[in-house]
Chain A
Amino acid sequence: MIHSLFLINCSGDIFLEKHWKSVVSQSVCDYFFEAQEKAIDVENVPPVISTPHHYLISIYRDKIFFVSVIQSEVPPLFVIEFLHRVADTFQDYFGECSETAIKDNVVIVYELLEEMLDNGFPLATESNILKELIKPPTILRSVVNSITGSSNVGDTLPTGQLSNIPWRRAGVKYTNNEAYFDVVEEIDAIIDKSGSTVFAEIQGVIDSCIKLSGMPDLSLSFMNPRLLDDVSFHPCIRFKRWESERVLSFIPPDGNFRLISYRVSSQNLVAIPVYVKHMISFKENSSSGRFDVTIGPKQNMGKTVESVVMTVHMPKAVLNMNLTATQGSYTFDPVTKVLTWDVGKITPQKLPNLKGLVNLQSGAPKPEENPSLNIQFKIQQLAISGLKVNRLDMYGEKYKPFKGVKYITKAGKFQVRT
């Protein structure tokens, strides 16, 4: 299936190549570069490119292109999903998926790629198995290794691969047994000029950090499972149990993982926690415009809205901006034309406001459209949909684990049209 993989950085250097079948020459990437040149920006490079003898399927992650070479028919999503899994694994191992991290750990990267694919077909992609095969680098371990001469490759052979629970490694032991669940909800919304909601939706995930010894069997139940409209599960969850009882029953992987992601049913009205008052105008035949934006809190159940950041892609004609913020700080990048305003916490008594003049290129026509405002925010200890975890039970092990649930609401793709 997957023939070869090339990693390419933003300046077009191929800094890593790996072949699972016969070697494919680097020159195949020329077709990719051609497509890249045609696209206006990196986001627009087509993920699937056809060349005379091969097909190139690529993803763009963290300023790196992962370009895979395919020779025959294969579901493109299969390859895309796999490439993202590779990038996730790098992230997991090195803390970041950057060119330097990959170059610094090239041997581990190579060992990982070798294990993840056999003859182009995915073999071991579960992080629990990989970590048994190849230990992630830590400072302590690299020091120890250099002294004792031991290696990063696990000397015990992983048995997880052989079991029916490939996501959990065997023989897990902790002195403190803990299970944490983060319920993170994101509000996707489009708000129109007049402030009314064009489209709003809540998407949520439950990220877990499980550090439990042995083979615990957990079941997690909700107070109001009906809220969840569409759910996707980690493979560890028993589907039948959810179907019949609306209970999440599973043997967890060890460590951090995403348990479920869900969408809240669209019948429920979404409470939009902030409002934005805006006045953006460009004067006809003059090289200036006005910019005035206020953000305020709304319906947030007594919780404070934190880490508010607004980003605006200003029209190309904008040269510079002279603004004053009553709260937080703003930056304007004259090259990319991106205005970022880091507001911080919103206090209802004194609403944050950003106001001032916009300098336009003289002679350029007045921008006809006002830019959209992209808002980010965070509300701690609140799941905006009202989802609540009822209880967590553990079977199969004797000890009493420490359990914790945290709720957080964030802005997803939250856009205000002006």
Chain B
Amino acid sequence: MSGNGLSYSEQGGEAAPELGQEAATTTTPSIPAAFGLFCSDIKKNEDLKQMLESSKDSAKLDAMKRIVGMVAKGKNASELFPAVVKNVASKNIEIKKLVYVYLMRYAEEQQDLALLSISTFQRALKDPNQLIRASALRVLSSIRVPIIVPIMMLAIKEASSDLSPYVRKNAAHAIQKLYSLDPEQKEMLIEVIEKLLKDRSTLVAGSVVMAFEEVCPERIDLIHKNYRKLCNLLVDVEEWGQVVIIHMLTRYARTQFVSPWKVSFEKNFYESDEEQKEKDQKVKDTYTMDPDHRLLLQNTKPLLQSRNAAVVMAVSQLYWHLAPKSEAGIVSKSLVRLLRSNREVQYIVLQNIATMSIQRKGMFEPYLKSFYVRSTDPTMIKTLKLEILTNLANEANISTLLREFQTYVKSQDKQFAAATIQAIGRCATNITEVTDTCLNGLVCLLSNKDEIVVAESVVVIKKLLQTQPAHHGEIIKHMAKLLDNITVPVARASILWLIGEYCERVPKIAPDVLRKTAKSFTNEDDLVKLQILNLGAKLYLTNSKQTKLLTQYVLNLGKYDQSYDIRDRTRFIRQLIVPNEKSGALSKYAKKIFLAQKPAPLLESPFKDRDHFQLGTLSHTLNTQATGYLELSDWPEVAPDPSVRNVEIAESVPDSFGGFTCLLSSFFLICSDSEDTEKKKKGISKKITTSNSSDTESASSEESSSDSKSESDSKSDSEPGKSRYVILSVLGLQHSPTLVLYLTGHYPSLCWKRISSSLSLLQTARHFW
């Protein structure tokens, strides 16, 4: 091994100066300004090179640390590549690791030189230690050099049938890397994915599903056979894997099961038609949830208790998209819990709650107070909470909510205060009981000192009056008075529009307003100018006696305005309203055009249509489809054949261990809750551990740690009241005649006998080897 390493270092040494020159010549012209700086860089790198050449590990380590420091800062350290790559076979673990870090960063840029390191990894892939095999595969697959694709493919294939689940996990990761490097390998990779999906280890499950999602999400048929296994493993998969699996299973379930919502949906038609009722009754009777569908819901539920916000969110979206509507409510408690978390988590969770609360108010109504705003919340959180509060508002809670809103309106955060006014407007339109109260409240706000608050109130009042074309002459008069003080363009424009629209209700004030604004026309904002023209036109049509001259004056001003838009509008209005020989047939209809009944604006939540994106996804957050977003399909009308998910029971021996012969002895024993048996059990497991510790270190550690965990597993699997199976140990031994021991006991007494006999069997077996 050392001989090999030497030969590589020689090669590397030859290549080094060449490359150094090349790098220098190519980079210097492009940055002439930094030339001086660059020179000193070369010098510095020279001494780094020397350190790397040195025979002392400490010097090499120092050099590597400095190089990694450079990489971390984003400085270019690529010219050191040849010097660094020589150390890939270093005995010192830290040097080796740092070289790996460096390799993964620069191998893509220096492909030829990177090839020098490949054989080191190939050798390590055969190492007896699984961790070394795994890390070799990791680095090998992270070097993005197209030439080695066949080598990678081979390594992945081999690793996918490795004895160690950890190596197989890394193989699953490597699949994605190879796929992004060379998508043409897809077919071969799918084969590997198919094989790994069958794996029963919790370590592998998350990673292989991730690979599946990235390489072949459309091959949903690969999941069938593994569906139940994935559901059952889910609780024990690490948290990141859980998120990926849950998202994938959500997609899967939507293609395979019929909708559990149909029943409640069709209930709406009940009253109308008697026959329909009977038919629906039938539908209701015939719908029974597929047991596999139920299994998924049942096995994800405990994960709502996870400490990981992403897992909780994933389960919540699963329930939202898959569970019967009556059951989806259980997620709200957990989602509300997440609101105690960091601002970023709050932001995403609140967005999702906002979407949910539009469709199913009931889910979050009990938690109304959890969405009350604190003055210390960031503005984006405040507005989201406000959004949810508005969605949850109903006749019962509106009075408490309005009281709460009163506090918010006074907030120092003016952006938030403005949003609150919008919210009040929405409540007023949605709940007719409080429309007048809200309107009065908003009118009170018109005398507020803050301009933004007043402006927002004006805009909202405008919308409200439009939806309620009752007699609100008083309010319009009040607003006309305000016009002198308000400077915010939107607000001024809104007032002018209102006066114009309802000019017949305020016949005395309207011309006066036009007079005042005509005076200030030139100083107004474009938005306001347009509305002045609009007001003029409307008055001209309804009250031409008083306003004819004024309107013409305004139109003249508009004609010579700087803005295209205003000049255009002026021309357009003049042609329409002022009758002359050239004016076309349209001017007859001018009044109809200007004073037509306008549809009231809808005050809607911005989260209204977001639910067509799967909840919890990036696309949902951004409200646009992100790259790689996988659409959730609609429920099928008729469920596809459920028998595809059936698995033969004989498969319980993991066959993925491939060529290795393994002795797998699993002891299933029934134990009661009494401490007595517990002790016995522990004693036995200890015995086994000690007796085999020499064989494989990894196996023994795996075994000793697995016993307690699997204890909980088995408990969860067994039905309550029945006996519990405890898997005591799983031992992997190489070079042995194949000998598979299966001991399944159904009665304690029988079981103990079997255990003792198997122990002696094991001992004889050891002698035999």
Contacts and interface: CB of A to CB of B under 8 A. Distances in A.
A201 interface: yes
Contact of A240 (B306, B621, B630, B715): B715
A34 interface: no
Interface in B1-31: none
Interface stretch (A14-22, A91-99, A290-298, A399-407): A14-22
B156 interface: no
Given A78-B243, A198-B369, A230-B334, A164 B93 contact: no
Contacts of A149: 57-58, 61
A23 interface: yes
B348 A47 contact: yes
In the A-B complex, the 5 residue pairs with the smallest Cβ-Cβ separation, listed nearest first, are A72-B628, A43-B378, A151-B94, A163-B705, A369-B410
Interface stretch (B320-328, B337-345, B525-533, B650-658): B337-345
B345 A77 contact: yes
A44 interface: yes
Main secondary structure of the interface of A (DSSP, over half): mixed
Interface string B489-531: 0000000000000000000000000000000000000000000
B425 interface: no
A374 B238 CA distance: 39
Interface string A230-251: 1111110011110110000101
Interface string B60-99: 0100010011011110000000000000000011100110
A152 interface: yes
A75 B376 contact: no
A6 to B, nearest CB: 9
Contacts of A48: 348, 618, 621-622
A82 B165 CA distance: 24
Interface string B32-59: 0000000000000000000000000110
Nearest to A18: B72
Interface in A361-376: 365-369, 371-372, 374
Given A77-B313, A215-B705, A198 B176 contact: no
B202 A164 contact: yes
A71 interface: yes
Nearest to B713: A164
Interface residues on B, range: 35 or more
Contacts of B375: 313, 371-372, 415, 417
Contact of A75 (B165, B235, B310, B449): B310
Given A73-B617, A111-B97, A163 B74 contact: no
Contact of B712 (A15, A230, A241): A241
B307 A235 contact: yes
B705 A164 contact: yes
B449 A84 contact: no
B306 A233 contact: yes
Contact of B449 (A1, A16, A17, A368): A368
Contacts of A33: none
27 contacts: A14-B74, A22-B108, A23-B105, A41-B378, A47-B343, A48-B348, A72-B626, A73-B630, A77-B310, A81-B310, A118-B170, A119-B176, A123-B173, A151-B61, A162-B130, A164-B702, A165-B708, A190-B374, A198-B404, A230-B337, A231-B305, A233-B307, A235-B306, A261-B307, A261-B340, A368-B410, A369-B410
Contact of A162 (B165, B348, B411, B621): B165
Given A18-B72, A313-B375, 7 more contacts: A73-B618, A81-B310, A84-B342, A151-B61, A231-B305, A368-B448, A415-B374
Nearest to B170: A118
A32 to B, nearest CB: 14
B701 A170 contact: yes
A44 B379 contact: yes
A367 B705 CA distance: 64
Interface stretch (A102-110, A339-347, A378-386): A102-110
B308 to A, nearest CB: 6
A60 interface: yes
B627 A125 contact: no
A215 B306 CA distance: 23
Interface in B197-218: 202-203, 207, 210
A118 B448 CA distance: 57
A70 B247 CA distance: 18
Interface in A38-84: 40-41, 43-44, 46-48, 50, 55, 58-61, 70-78, 80-82, 84
Contacts of B616: 75-77
Given A73-B630, A75-B314, A313-B375, A118 B138 contact: yes
Nearest to B142: A119
A302 interface: no
B372 interface: yes
B235 A239 contact: yes
A136 B305 CA distance: 31
A152 B97 CA distance: 11
Contacts of B334: 230, 232
Nearest to B624: A50
Given A18-B72, A121-B240, A413 B58 contact: no
Interface string A112-134: 00100011011101000000000
B177 interface: yes
A84 B716 CA distance: 31
Interface in B689-726: 697-698, 701-702, 704-706, 708-710, 712, 715-716, 720
Contacts of A140: none
B72 A17 contact: yes
A5 to B, nearest CB: 11
Which residue among B105, B129, B333, B705 has the maximum number of chain A CB atoms within 10 Å of its CB? B705
A401 B68 CA distance: 44
B239 interface: yes
Interface stretch (A153-161, A176-184, A350-358): A153-161
A228 to B, nearest CB: 11
A73 B248 CA distance: 13
Contact of A235 (B61, B239, B312): B239
Contacts of A235: 238-239, 306-307
A114 B347 CA distance: 28
B380 A44 contact: yes
B180 interface: yes
Contacts of B129: 157
Nearest to B202: A164
Nearest to B141: A119
B370 interface: yes
B407 interface: yes
Given A111-B97, A217-B708, A240-B712, A232 B626 contact: no
B366 to A, nearest CB: 8
A170 B73 CA distance: 36
Contacts of B564: none
B343 A43 contact: yes
B93 A155 contact: yes
Nearest to A237: B305
Interface in B660-712: 678, 682, 697-698, 701-702, 704-706, 708-710, 712
A412 B341 CA distance: 12
Nearest to A240: B716
B309 A50 contact: no
A149 B11 CA distance: 28
B240 A78 contact: yes
A141 interface: no
Contact of A107 (B68, B336, B411): B68
Contact of A26 (B74, B100, B380): B74
